Structure 1
């Protein structure tokens, strides 16, 4: 049912990235609590969707028989150049602009350099630096959306190390174990057996990614309508009982791929995929707007946010992401073994 050459996943990723920005507007704009379903915010649901999509597509990429070095190079070039550009812009452009537009705080060059250095490894948990001096009010984070990229890269490494042969022979057992283990950890965190921390955010994402991988490996065996009926039922239960972190990752991934297969939106994002840029620049733009123009209404705040974020996402794709992705095609076969 799902055609990897003609589908609406780019449109859905664009929607998910935009929903992350919308969800963050309530908190960053001091408009109240983020909207939530099943004890998961709108942004958290979107990130689950991203990881389900990645699980399917990254596993498919690894299964095509390419050398592991080429696989890792492609993944690095897709995610890291855009991330690094966003990191540098926040440290050396957004932070100074926040002072210029009215932030009562300040920063030093050392604060900006520390922000870049401590976050270089894809915003790692525990050691990452979330602020730059006192440019934002206490408790605010310059680019909190980046937290998921560390775990995304971890999933890429896991799939890469499994290797083509291992995916062929033992993938189901490995991925089922990973999915079950992640789900159990999510349950333990949900009921309070594990204290909440940055690390407890990861298990639902691991479940979504491994769930997407399982969907790819068993795609030909899945009967679409019965599977969708079960998926929708489980999602409704997760929303009604507030257990989305535990129950939603796999059925949500299935629902997204079904929508990707049937929605007639395959032209959206076909030539310019702005979803990554919107995701990595949404929070910094929202913080800057809140510093310079506090107390905006939600519609005005969102309109101004997207008016700034979309050009940044376009620039990121045009001048950073796409040129980086072209580099992977220039590797000589002899060097890609």
Structure 2
């Protein structure tokens, strides 16, 4: 069946996939935070990537698909922006406040007056406000003796890239408002071309043995996700194609150079097949809640805290303790903050449209 046949409603496996991906990041970081190096996870030497980096790729493919679906279905930039803001920032600010006034005050080696007087604290706080200038990493005197160093939350490096992709996607849509008859077709062409050209650049870089730019790689993944939504009426989700691609990918894992090429070419199809085809018991996870974002943003500071409290902790113990604590925080974050923030979208959208209605040249739903 065509991909378009499956995408109506929310009856899919994306919540579970994202939760598994967030957990994979926690596992990868457990090796790094215990051993003290980012290359500590065993898969890094075998495949040239970790399960955590694969998880990030899944996040960007999924995000590109779902947010493009949101934008093109509603065709409202205002709704798109508020949906993204309310999904990212409330939980992120809560995590930062906990880091500054909870973990920071508890773990800092400085006196509290010195801690609050240190310019590094306010640099951290300033970056927290938008993330456009990058993600904040250090607080004064916090985790400075940990094996991995004093990073508060290295997982956040992906969020400025995510925000950049949202900005590019919405900018493409807004820039085409002057041609309403062909807006959809032009948007589709630009998005698919962006995925194709970035893919070509990645393969050229790889074959020329030059480093692949982070932005271009994440751009490729995000807009490949967009492309799958745009071409949803042409893409067939087939058991045969899925198992052939999965077999080829597993076979390619015997050679790390071949693996990257096959991985880049097959990951999107494998992901969207798994997101929509398996059903039954696996769908019951959707009744729990979308805990993946909270799990992702809280895991690293929890793990750094464990590394500080339990010097010499093993990787397995780190995984077990941090999984339990992070899951608790993620559940609380979803039920008491995140889902309520998302419920405010209609309120803020309506107020924004009313505000823009005072400007005759504005088109509030564009």
Determine if the TM-score, normalized by the shorter chain, exceeds 0.5.
Answer: yes
* Residue 40 in structure 1 maps to residue 40 in structure 2: no
Match of 2:309 among 292, 298, 305: 292
Match of 2:29 among 24, 27, 33: 24
The answer as to whether partners of 1:25 and 1:31 remain within 8 angstroms in 2 is: no
Superposition RMSD in Å: 2.8
Runs of 4+ in 1 over 4 A off after TM superposition: 103-107, 164-167, 187-192, 243-247
The answer as to whether partners of 2:15 and 2:290 remain within 8 angstroms in 1 is: yes
Secondary structure (helix, strand or coil) at the match of 1:131 reads coil
Match of 2:268 among 253, 256, 271: 253
Q: Deviations over 1:129-169 (max 9, x none)?
A: 32112322374421011111111111112222222856621
Bigger mean CA offset, 64-73 vs 142-151: 64-73
Distance in structure 2 (CA, Å) of the matches to 1:52 and 1:280: 19
- Give the aligned partner of residue 52 of structure 1: 61
* Residue 84 in structure 1 maps to residue 100 in structure 2: no
The answer as to whether partners of 2:110 and 2:140 remain within 8 angstroms in 1 is: no
Q: 1:121 to 1:181 in 2, by over 3 A?
A: farther
How big is the shift at 1:207? 1.2
How big is the shift at 1:88? 2.0
Q: Deviations over 1:152-205 (max 9, x none)?
A: 1111122222228566212343223322333344346655535x7xxx322222
* Residue 135 in structure 1 maps to residue 148 in structure 2: no
Distance in structure 1 (CA, Å) of the matches to 2:343 and 2:336: 11
Q: 1:112 to 1:243 in 2, by over 3 A?
A: farther
TM-score under structure 2 length normalisation = 0.80
- Paired positions, count: 328
Q: 1:87 to 1:247 in 2, by over 3 A?
A: farther
Bigger mean CA offset, 321-330 vs 34-43: 34-43
Distance in structure 1 (CA, Å) of the matches to 2:99 and 2:259: 32
The answer as to whether partners of 1:39 and 1:243 remain within 8 angstroms in 2 is: no
| Runs of 5+ consecutive residues of structure 1 not aligned to the other structure | none
Secondary structure (helix, strand or coil) at the match of 1:40 reads coil
- Give the aligned partner of residue 317 of structure 1: 334
Q: Deviations over 1:68-89 (max 9, x none)?
A: 1121111111111111211222
TM-score under structure 1 length normalisation = 0.86
Q: 1:260 to 1:313 in 2, by over 3 A?
A: same
